[in-house]
Amino acid sequence: MVGKTPTLPDFTALSQHIDPQWIANALALTGKASVRRRKLPAEQVVWLVIALAMYRHQSIAQVVAELDLVLPDEVNPAIANSAVTQARQRLGQEPLAQLFGLCASAWDERHQRGRSWRGLARYAIDGSTLRTQDTTDNRQHFGAQEYASGVVASYPQLRMLTLTSLATHLLRDAVFGEYGKNEMRYAKELIEAIPEHSLTVFDRGFLSAEILLQVQQTGTQRHWLIPAKSNSQWEKLDKHPTDYRVRMKVSPQARKANSCLPAYWEARAIEVISRHGQRRILLTSLLDAKAWPAKEIALQYEQRWHIETSYRELKQEMLGAGLTLRSGNPQTVRQEVWGVLLAYNLVRLEMAEVAREEGVEPTELSFTVALHYLRYEWHWLATSSPGTLPKHLQRLRQRLGDLLVSKQRRGRQCPRVVKKPPARYPIRQVRFK
């Protein structure tokens, strides 16, 4: 019917991935379980927050009404917008954070099997920002970017760092908060989440003895890989021209801040040439050249660049053109971000399941196509009986050919350059005689 709003799913199918008991445990641990009967119980509000990320262009009231999130036996299921706001405020961010932690570790461990490199699970730590509603509370809590000219950004922003699997692009853990907080401080919070028997790839901005030694010296077989900075200085300990050990001095400032740091620390340096002819030196804790060949280590670093596409998928594909989060206060902003991270992982998890069934790599599938298919299938699941759910999901997974990235795009690399945006107005050319 023309003009009829499409019906949204009730997320029944997703219970195969998110155990309802996990939601109950998260609510109980944070003291947010609904004690008295409500039209919008806490369990449904959890699904609502996830749905708001999946259906970015739907209003909150519309998602509530069409997801059938109110109690099914209510005589008058209509619920006021203010009641939805109050329900989200009652829930807070803690249950979503707990649920993300339970799901992320379980899903990652499930799909790390058989995808390690020489016995090491591979991860990357990287960061990005998200824009929030321009409210007084958000601006005071999160802050905003301030340019060298003194001009402050029009919208408050939050800074976010994630620990992401190189094999599946599933998020293992995440931290976020004030924009003005340095990424190094956020990275320290993620270090504990790095599993044992793993290799974590960092951007050069995280080159710090305090961070990398903490990764290396805690746990079992926790290794790191990072490109050297152009001004990095060290003492070369052997004569190999492209694969050698180095000894670096820990700065007095770092030792003053952390008295446990040694005066010097050692690493392995590997000189590589990129496809574009650029010379790069990689530093790593993988000291044994026989156990960890230099060429294979260089390939692991190349995989790190693909992680940046996960932020593009999350911000541009899932959140669409509206990069500003919905919520108007810091508590619901944090709640919304956890919902976005859970929704992103749900899409990535389904891609990993498809890839495992078909014997391909999860990174060979198109996130954009997978997201569209999932939205479409869940739309039909809303009008289907529970007995047909497995059939619908199987049909989704049989469309692997549509999800596969074109072979021409696999392994594609683009130079990292800043392109000047086109001018909005024509430039007048002044000619001198």
Q: What is the DSSP string of 173-226?
A: EEEEEETTS-HHHHHHHHHTTSPSSEEEEE-GGG--HHHHHHHHHSSSSEEEEE
Q: What local confidence, expressed as pLDDT, does residue 379 receive? A: 57
The yes-or-no verdict on residue 389 having pLDDT over 60 is no
Residue of 297 and 395 predicted with greater confidence: 297
Beta bridge partners of 236: 246
Amino acid at 142: F
- The pLDDT, as a whole number, for residue 5 is 38
- Maximum average pLDDT range among 2-6, 26-30, 186-190, 319-323: 186-190
Q: Which two tokens stand for residue 135?
A: 């409210």
DSSP state of 360: S
* Alpha-carbon distance values, 44 to 23, 33, 59, 382 (Å): 10, 11, 17, 15
Q: What Å distances lie between residue 232 and 188, 228, 277, 283, CA to CA?
A: 21, 6, 21, 11
**For 110-158, what is each residue's pLDDT tens digit?**
999 889 999 999 999 999 999 999 999 999 999 998 887 888 888 999 9
CA distances from 284 to 201, 246, 288, 326, 429 (A): 9, 10, 10, 41, 52
Considering the chain, what percentage of its residues have pLDDT values greater than 70? Answer: 73
Domain ranges of the chain: 13-91, 95-310
Q: Are the CB atoms for 257 and 214 separated by under 8 Å? A: no
| Position 398 pLDDT exceeds 80 | no
| Distant-in-sequence, close-in-space partners of 378: CB < 8 Å, separation ≥ 6 | 8, 9, 11, 13, 14, 54
Comparing 140-149, 217-226, 246-255, the range with the smallest average pLDDT is 140-149
Which residue pairs from 319-323 have beta carbons closer than 8 angstroms and sit at least 24 positions apart in sequence?
319/53, 319/56, 320/56, 320/57, 322/56, 322/57, 323/130, 323/131
Half-sphere exposure of 174 (CA within 13 A, CB side): 32
- 162 close to 86: Cβ distance less than 8 angstroms: no
Residue 30 pLDDT > 70: no
Tokens of 143: 């802050």
Chain segment 177-192, per-residue pLDDT in tens: 999 999 999 999 999 9
Give pLDDT, residue 31: 65
Which residues, 6+ apart, have CB-to-CB distance to 241 below 8 Å?
271
Q: Which of 268, 267, 265 is nearest to 293 (CA)?
A: 268
95-310 is a CATH 3.90.350.10 domain: yes
| Residues 317-354: tens digit of each pLDDT | 888 765 688 888 999 999 999 999 998 998 898 888 88
Residue 148 gets which letter from DSSP?
Answer: T
3-state secondary structure at position 236: strand
Under the banding of pLDDT at 50, 70 and 90, the label for residue 35 is very low
> For 61-90, what is each residue's pLDDT tens digit?
777 766 555 444 443 445 566 777 788 888
For residue 372 the two structure tokens come to 């569209």
Angle at which helices 389-397 and 367-381 pack, to 10 degrees? 160
Q: Is the pLDDT of residue 32 over 80?
A: no
Which range in 50-54, 77-81, 238-242, 360-364 is most confidently predicted, on average pLDDT?
Answer: 238-242
Q: Decide if pLDDT at 107 tops 50.
A: yes
3-state class (DSSP) for residue 79 = coil
Q: Which range among 33-42, 71-80, 373-382 shows the weakest confidence by mean pLDDT?
A: 71-80
- Global model pTM greater than 0.75: yes
The per-residue pLDDT for 36 is 46
Pairing label, strands 264-273, 243-249: antiparallel
What is the chain's mean pLDDT, rounded?
Answer: 80
Q: Say if residue 383's pLDDT is above 50.
A: no
Place of tokens 């001095």: 249
34 neighbors 103 (Cβ within 8 angstroms)? no
In this predicted model, what pLDDT tens digit does every residue of 161-177 receive, in sequence order? 999 999 999 999 999 99
CB neighbour class for 126 (10 Å; exposed up to 12, middle 13-18, buried from 19): buried
- Is residue 312 very low, low, confident or very high in pLDDT (cuts 50, 70, 90)? confident
* Listed range (101-105, 136-140, 288-292, 418-422) with the worst mean pLDDT: 418-422
How high is the pLDDT of residue 7?
A: 39
